[in-house]
């Protein structure tokens, strides 16, 4: 699961960063402020330096109140959300994985989910703006960084149009997403914290966990997504050779 939050650099980003600081100062003890960032898995399941397991100061209901405050930000700042997802158990069936290790399959699934998310973002910019462009800020993951960057750049190339069918030409090449992805760790004011929150909640919703409806509702109201052939298509023979 890769989720994306569309944040306007001039009109929304400063307010989002300030709000995350406010939530940190409201909920988190001051001794942790220097290097704190919200991680959804810690928030919902305990973990990290603050939400340590079975800590008496952090019962479930209190942690869910923090999650409510984060979920409310999407409506407050008029933020649009999208995502790309891949079923790990089915993903190897969609390409020739006979010579791929489990690690390579996991990386391939991650990169595919990222590209579906990127396609959604690019399409949103085409539909909702006249000439705005976008820079993708991506949480740094050293395992997938090189493959993600290469795939991102490949799908920006204008000459790939020759390899696409008519349906795929609706989405590719990427037109509004410019430059390489900017890889960045989550930090206390980073909007990546919102993408992390969305990815976790949407994943749980897709898994059928109704406990997350409380947080999925505010996200779904701001969600934009269309079906993409990238989630179903098998790589062409030419692309398989390139990967090797």
SS (H, E, C) 16-35: HHHHHHHHHHHHCCHHHHHH
Tell me the C-alpha distance between 163 and 236, whole Å: 9
Sign of the alpha-carbon torsion through 73, 75, 77, 83? positive
**Structure-model confidence comparison of residues 186 and 3, the more confident one:** 3
H-helix or E-strand spanning residue 198: helix 192-206
* Per-residue pLDDT at 100: 80
pLDDT tops 80 at residue 236: no
* Per-residue pLDDT at 103: 87
Contact 155, 148 (CB under 8 A): no
Beta 137-139 vs 80-84: how paired, if at all?
unpaired
How many separate domains does the chain show? 1
Range of the domain at 44: 2-243
Kindly list the distances between the CA atom of residue 77 and the CA atoms of 6, 73, 131, 239, in Å, as whole numbers in the listed order: 11, 6, 22, 40
Q: Name the band, by pLDDT with cuts 50, 70 and 90, for residue 149.
A: very high
Tell me the C-alpha distance between 160 and 60, whole Å: 49
Q: Is the pTM of this model over 0.85?
A: yes
* Per-residue pLDDT at 23: 96
Tell me the C-alpha distance between 175 and 155, whole Å: 9
* Per-residue pLDDT at 40: 96
Mean pLDDT confidence for 25-34? 95
Contact 137, 192 (CB under 8 A): yes
3-state secondary structure of 138: strand
The backbone region for 208, taken as left when phi is positive above 0, alpha when psi lies in -120 to 50, beta otherwise, is left
* Per-residue pLDDT at 205: 96
Question: How many other C-beta atoms lie within 10 A of the C-beta of residue 16?
Answer: 21
Query: Token pair for residue 58?
Result: 């952090």
* Per-residue pLDDT at 238: 40
pLDDT tens per residue, range 4-16: 999 999 999 999 9
Q: Name the band, by pLDDT with cuts 50, 70 and 90, for residue 30.
A: very high
Name the percent of the chain lying above pLDDT 90: 73
pLDDT tens per residue, range 168-220: 888 899 999 999 999 998 776 688 999 999 999 999 999 999 999 999 999 99
pLDDT tens per residue, range 117-130: 999 999 999 999 99
Mean pLDDT, rounded, of the chain: 89
Mean pLDDT confidence for 104-123? 93
- Beta-ladder partners of 47: 51
């Amino acid at each position: 699961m890769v989720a994306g939050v569309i944040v306007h650099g001039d009109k929304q980003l400063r307010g989002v960063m300030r709000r995350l600081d406010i939530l940190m100062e409201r909920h988190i003890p001051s001794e942790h402020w220097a290097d704190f960032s919200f991680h959804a898995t810690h928030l919902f399941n305990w973990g990290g330096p603050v939400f340590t397991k079975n800590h008496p100061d952090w019962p479930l209901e209190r942690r869910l109140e923090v999650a409510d405050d984060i979920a409310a930000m999407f409506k407050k700042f008029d933020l649009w959300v999208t995502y790309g997802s891949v079923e790990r158990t089915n993903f190897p069936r969609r390409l020739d994985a006979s010579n791929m290790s489990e690690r390579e399959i996991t990386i391939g699934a991650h990169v595919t989910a990222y590209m579906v998310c990127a396609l959604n973002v690019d399409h949103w910019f085409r539909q909702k703006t006249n000439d705005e462009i976008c820079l993708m800020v991506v949480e740094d993951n050293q395992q997938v960084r090189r493959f993600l960057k290469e795939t991102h750049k490949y799908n920006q190339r204008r000459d790939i149009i020759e390899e696409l069918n008519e349906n795929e030409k609706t989405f590719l090449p990427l037109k509004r997403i410019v430059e390489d992805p900017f890889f960045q760790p989550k930090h206390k004011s980073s909007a990546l914290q919102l993408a992390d929150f969305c990815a976790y909640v949407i994943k749980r919703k897709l898994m059928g966990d109704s406990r997350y409806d409380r947080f999925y509702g505010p996200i779904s109201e701001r969600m934009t997504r269309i079906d993409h052939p990238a989630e179903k298509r098998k790589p062409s023979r030419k692309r398989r050779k390139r990967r090797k």
